[in-house]
Amino acid sequence: MAEGGKGGEKGRTHSILRRILLLHAAATLVTAVLAAWGAMLLIDSTGDRLQRQILDEYAQKMQHGLRRSAGGWTIAEGTAAALRGGGSSFSFWIEDGGRRVAVENLRADPSLQVPMRARTAYFKRVRGARIYSGVSMPLLGERDSWLVIVQNLDHPDVIFDDLRTQIALVCGGLLAVFLIGLLAVDAAIVRQSLAPLKRASREVAQVSPYQLQQRVDTSGMPEEVLPLLHAINAALDRVEEAYRIERDFAADAAHELRTPLSILRLLVEQGGSPEAAPRLQRQIDALEAMVERLLLLAEVDAMACDPGEVTDLRALAEERVAAIAPLFLARGQDIEIVGTARALVFAPHHLAARALDSLLENAMKHTPAGTRVVVSVDPCGEIGVADDGPGVPEEGAELFARFASVRRDFQRSSGLGLAIASELMARTGGNLEVARNTPQGAVFRMRFHPVPGNG
């Protein structure tokens, strides 16, 4: 189970764009929260400082305007009017010997527990749903007496707290819009930055055994990925060189085998016994056919392929059938073309022609005299080669393997004709399929990519 878990983790993939956006969103959110928190602290500290300044100013006015009277405390009318001008959110009273004493001409509400210290003390109290901010300080020239000023922060006259709330709401909305906009801009920037990598991926995907010359264009690529792209191009160089060496070896081996085969044939013809000569000749013929196939493989591997070339399948079928028809007639076989008058497909003409030749030669070789081969052209981009021969074995898929032992005549042969046809079709971007014909025989279908709207 541990190994399976490791395999699952190893096979898991992730999106660079998604990862960058998530990390950047998290970093931006944390930064924004910290910035908002700092701004709120600044606003709160500024508000507290302004409130304390107002309370200190009112306290200074009261200190100089208060007078003890027989009934308690009184204040000059001018000072009282100035203090009342601050609005009904303010309350004023005296803590005198543990008693709360109202000041004449001033509002004294509510009743709160306040600190009474030897120096000025600022405080906040919560009473129900209301918040009060106030100051208490010893009265000048009095003993055990404190001046108290309290402001109801929830009072409509107090707009600073409302401003703080509105600022918090507006900043929160702006923060959300800013974060969404920033992520959208980040997505566009990252996508644009990764566009060269996507182009490189498409170029690498086009590399195939038949287009090893393809390389990744490193122009305009980010510096961070250039080493990787250079390494990919270097690896493709090594693969192409190894492929060329293998192809040249096959061609050289085939050429080298020709001479000893010719000498062997001459010796058999000159000195072989009449009984053994025919068997030796057949074996030599098989070896020569194999050498020719090896040479053909080397030629096919070296063929250039233009995936954008357009070929008319009807014209191709007429051309190749006309070339091989005399051989069919000489063997007592019939061959005909049926189907559409025009079918355009994306395929190099020389590759498609060589593949069709292999199928026609295969049909001629494996069908007896008196049979018929039908070449059909379908407008959907398909050529079919149907015959009345013995058909195909159950293991029909092995017909397209090089040097496979299963053949239509159930005997060993070089086994390269159909393999070459299959490889040629792969190089054109199509594929080759085989099925049983009705009532007997086999049907080989060459499927290409049709040109849109070729009708």
Based on the fold, state whether residues 45 and 87 are members of the same structural domain: yes
> pLDDT at residue 396 above 60?
no
Same domain, 45 and 143: yes
**CATH number, residue 287:** 1.10.287.130
pLDDT at 272 (0 to 100): 60
| CATH number of the domain enclosing 145 | 3.30.450
Shared-domain flag, residues 326 and 252: no
Is residue 396, in this structure, part of any structural domain at all? yes
Q: Is the pLDDT of residue 163 over 70?
A: no
Answering whether pTM is above 0.75, one says no
Query: Is 320 found in the same domain as 258?
Result: no
> Domain total for the chain?
3
Domain assignment of residue 274, given as a range: 226-302
Q: Does residue 289 sit in the same domain as residue 158?
A: no
What digits encode the pLDDT tens for the residues 81-113?
A: 888 887 888 899 998 888 888 888 888 888 888
pLDDT in tens, 52-74: 888 899 898 888 888 888 778 88
Q: How confident is the model at residue 26 (pLDDT cuts 50, 70, 90)?
A: confident
344 and 423 inside one domain? yes
Contact indicator for 355, 446 with CB cutoff of 8 Å: yes
Q: Looking at residue 312, what is its pLDDT? A: 94
Q: Residue 37: pLDDT band by 50, 70, 90 thresholds?
A: confident
Last residue within a domain, chosen from 249, 277, 302: 302
Give the Å distances, CA to CA, from 361 to 47, 354, 382, 385, 444: 97, 11, 19, 11, 12
Tell me the C-alpha to C-alpha distance, in Å, between residue 169 and each of 158, 163, 172, 250: 18, 10, 5, 79
Q: Are residue 41 and residue 99 in the same domain, yes or no?
A: yes
> Is the residue at 129 inside a domain?
yes
- 385 has which bridge partners? 375, 444
For residues 21 and 144, membership in a common domain is answered with yes
C-alpha span between 216 and 233 (Å, rounded): 6
Confidence (pLDDT) at 121: 93
Residues 355 and 379 in one domain: yes
